[in-house]
Chains A and B, each alone.
Chain A
Amino acid sequence: MPEPLLEVDDVSVSYLTDAAEVGAVDHVSLALHTGEFLGIVGESGCGKSTLLFAIAQLLSPPAAITSGRVVFRGQDLVQLTESELRHVRWRDYSVVMQSAMNALNPMKSIGAQFKDTMRAHEHVSNEAIEARSSEVLRLVGIDSAHLDSYPHQLSGGMRQRAMIAMALLFTPQLVIMDEPTSALDVVAQRSLMTQIKDLQQQFGFAVIFVTHDMSVIAHYSDRVMVMYAGQVAEIGATRSIFKQPMHPYSKGLLDAFPSVRGPRRPLIGIPGSPPDLSRPPTGCRFHPRCSEVMPKCLTIEPALYPVGDTDVRCLLFAKSLKDAV
């Protein structure tokens, strides 16, 4: 097995506020290989976006990485200084954010924003910059005349695609995406996802895709990571998780999407609400809402247990009492 492109090793992120220290991400590990598409799924507040920004080294105070390493192409990004990071940023990995209206500078034209990115990393002529800018826009199906347009002059879908084009300026090896389809309608969503997948196949970059909506990545991701309350609840091949989810939470998430073709059945939701991360529940964090809760779930914190080709954080799958202690 070749070296992973990205290795997130036991990373924790906390928000240090006056009132309390809130652990948004709790000892998360994952490995990503070249060209792999990983989806991270979870409800609001589960820490998925925080994890994403931690990986991309884009956290700002009061959030900070409190433990762990983020090893990208052999380098621990956490240890790098801001100026060292600058060499890696955008060339080797880039970021696509949720709302292009907010992520693009309203005062600069699209072309100008492409230009300052390229200028920041290389000394290239204006012609080269324009050529490359037109090229990436073409990749996402936008006419190069829009290089002179301002963000507010483009439609929502176009803006989002422009952001993706910008992310591909240096054809990085990893593109991190934070819910890029959330602001779009289902038709535009589908179109954007297909485009992303096409580009991925064309250029071979790895993708980490964060979303709260499992159905969006169902057909596109290689692996899926389900997060709950700052922890990894389940992680494995997409097919396996969708066909047979192990963790009661994953089951609940999938049960909320009945199949179009299957038999009619009543919708089952997950009762309760996500926990307050400044005072998480004892034992398994999901126990207050779990339909299969056992007495030991209140006291023992489950680790990730391998089940087939997935890992599950649930005591139901602890092989022996030894594992569960």
Chain B
Amino acid sequence: MRYITRRAGLFLITLWAALTVNFIIPRVMPGNEASAVLATFRGVNPSALHALEIEFGVNVHQNLIVTYFQYLANCLTGQFGLTAQRVPVLTEIISKLPWTLALVGVTTVIAFAIGTMVGVVSAWRRGGRLDGILPPLLFIVASFPVFFVGLLLLFVFAVTLNWLPLSSNYSIGAEPSLSLSFAGDVLTHALLPGFSLVVVTAGLWIYSMRNNMITTLAEDYVKMGRAKGLPSWRIMIDYAARNAILPNLTGFAMQLGYVLGGSILVEYTFSYPGLGYLFYTSTTDHDLPLMQALFLVYTLAVLICVLLADLATAGLDPRTRDA
């Protein structure tokens, strides 16, 4: 129980830190970006404008602390103001969220599955000819910038072979519906961006999982498993893999931030209109309200995943149950 309380505490503190960062940045950064942006907001919904003024410290003639708490209250009720297109920020985010969620969600699950299996097995079967080449190769592929992989795939499959579409999440002119053909269209559009993400993410996970597994294999209880005459697969899974994965689940979750960053770049490369692409356009439009709200969304996503990992660890690792 104490373990969960501690982790929930970290969740709240980091969330608070991110919210505070959002509050502080417009106020400490040199120049007057914020006021310049807000000056363009004329004749808009007054409460939305007010929320923006509070967030960015423009036209605010009251105590900083009071402003800060008003800002926090706004955030908790989802009042993030308006985008450069005068659409409520929250609405815009919610409309694009499913696309990114689908892309990142599916690729992360696939990458984790591949990463775990390949990592575990490659550590188990050490000493083969591949053993000298595979790990550094994986490390290198894992460190490839994700946009390079994306561009390469685009070049090969979209431009040269023309097998897959060049951009976007569904074909221009297609009507979004729950039909099979639309689903197929979406899938072909998501294939290359998804694949780019999987390649880089899986590479990273295979590498870390393999390292964890190798460390675990040196433990005495693995040797005991062998001494007891247990079948090989059972030792690999029950005695080694389980002990390699579970304590590191939170660590894996923390790498999600890197994956999300990669997803932003992938969406930009493929002009895939999810939150990442939105992030990009917010920079070109100099749309600070949207940008900062997106920053919060991404941070919250990582925090939620880390907390879920913590809960899983608490549930599955007997040692934390008593901690």
Contacts and interface: CB of A to CB of B under 8 A. Distances in A.
B239 interface: yes
Q: Please indicate which of the listed interface residues A108, A109, A166 has the most CB atoms of chain B within 10 Å of its own CB.
A: A108
Interface stretch (B47-55, B150-158, B194-202, B230-238): B230-238
Interface residues of A, number: 33
Interface residues of B, number: 24
Contacts of B219: 102
Interface in B112-134: 127
A260 interface: no
Contact of B221 (A58, A82, A89, A104): A104
B242 interface: yes
B30 to A, nearest CB: 53
B317 to A, nearest CB: 7
Contacts of B220: 97-99, 102-103
Given A99-B220, A103-B220, A108 B229 contact: no
B224 A152 contact: no
Interface in A88-143: 88-91, 94-95, 97-99, 102-109, 116-117, 120-121
B224 A153 contact: no
Interface in B210-259: 219-221, 223-232, 234, 238-239, 242-243, 246
Interface string B304-323: 00000000000001110010
Interface string A200-235: 000000000000000000000000000000000000
B227 A95 contact: yes
Nearest to A61: B127
B223 A58 contact: yes
A150 interface: yes
Interface of B: 127, 219-221, 223-232, 234, 238-239, 242-243, 246, 317-319, 322
21 contacts: A87-B229, A89-B227, A89-B229, A90-B228, A91-B229, A94-B228, A95-B224, A99-B220, A102-B220, A103-B220, A105-B243, A106-B319, A107-B242, A116-B238, A117-B229, A120-B228, A120-B229, A121-B229, A150-B318, A150-B319, A166-B228
